[in-house]
Copies of this chain bind each other. A is one copy, B any other.
Amino acid sequence: MITRTTNLIVRYAETDAQGVVHHSNYLVWFEEARSDFLRQQGLAYSDLEASGFFVVVTEVAVTFRAPAFYEDRIAIETTLVKARGRLLEFGYRIHNAMGNLLVEGRTRHLVLGGDRRPVSLPEPVLEKLLTTRH
């Protein structure tokens, strides 16, 4: 299983009146981490959509262990757990700069074609997705 790391700094707009990152933003970060995972694998999701493939989210599960704060430096470890035909599954672990585990999550996805019906990703795309690079 391949794991890639994405780094970001918490934006002020991502906080809420409890003084911490609003929990909905972790789904946005998971998505950005997936995009970055693909880019690190030599793929761009924008190219996928341009060639008529749409990856939609079918399930998410998140456990919130500790809060993140404005300007925290965040590391998201993204693991491709499954890539079989029309199904993708990713796992995520989010730490802050002190190494505290803040959030763990998992997302499941379905690949759709231009007609918005389920379809398998093309072989060359799957291959890129699953190749360990250095």
Residues in chain A within 8 A of chain B (CB atoms) = 9, 11-13, 15-20, 22-25, 27-28, 31-32, 35, 44-46, 49, 54, 56-64, 67, 69-71
Contact = CB atoms under 8 A, between A and B. Distances in A.
Contacts of A59: 61-64
A42 to B, nearest CB: 14
Contacts of A45: 12, 70-71
A60 B57 contact: no
A28 B24 contact: yes
Nearest to A63: B59
A5 to B, nearest CB: 16
A31 B13 contact: yes
